Amino acid sequence: MEEGFLSVAMDYGAAGMFIFYMVWQSMRSEKRQDAHLAQFMGKIELLRTKAEEDEKALRLRYDNVISGLNEERTQLRSNLAGKIKDLDTMTTKIVQRLDGVLINQETMLTIAKDQQTEAKARSAAASMVRQMKGKNGPHSK
């Protein structure tokens, strides 16, 4: 094709040669631009691939962090539930002991009242004995 065009261009002299040069320069420039475009597109594809890989790595890291936080939260909930259960058990034991103390206190109060009543009865009996001795007088002995 170039040879055929070159012979036609020679027929027109210097102007034909200049036209041939311009066409040849344009075709060469176009090939170079196509090569640059292909190289540019290749670089863009590499950058896109790298960006996808970086995104995948970031997502994986994010998923690992979220997973770790979820496990930690689950563990904390489990520990908290255990501690609440322990506190409930301790509270129940304390209430039972306080009930026992209250019963003991009520028992002691009842015993104290019984002893007070018994002391009053003895005092009243002793007082009655004295009064009876006093009515019989010192002469009765």
23 in any annotated domain? yes
137 in any annotated domain? no
Please count the structural domains in the chain: 1
Domain of residue 112: give its range: 2-132
124 in any annotated domain? yes
Q: What is the pTM of this model?
A: 0.46
140 in any annotated domain? no
Q: What is the DSSP string of 3-64?
A: HHHHHHHHHTTHHHHHHHHHHHHHHHHHHHHHHHHHHHHHHHHHHHHHHHHHHHHHHHHHHH
pLDDT in tens, 77-111: 999 999 999 999 999 999 998 888 888 888 888 99
**Residue 125: which pLDDT band, with cuts at 50, 70 and 90?**
confident
Mean pLDDT over each residue of the chain, to the nearest integer: 88
Report the pLDDT value the prediction gives residue 6, as an integer from 0 to 100. Answer: 67
Report the pLDDT value the prediction gives residue 1, as an integer from 0 to 100. Answer: 57
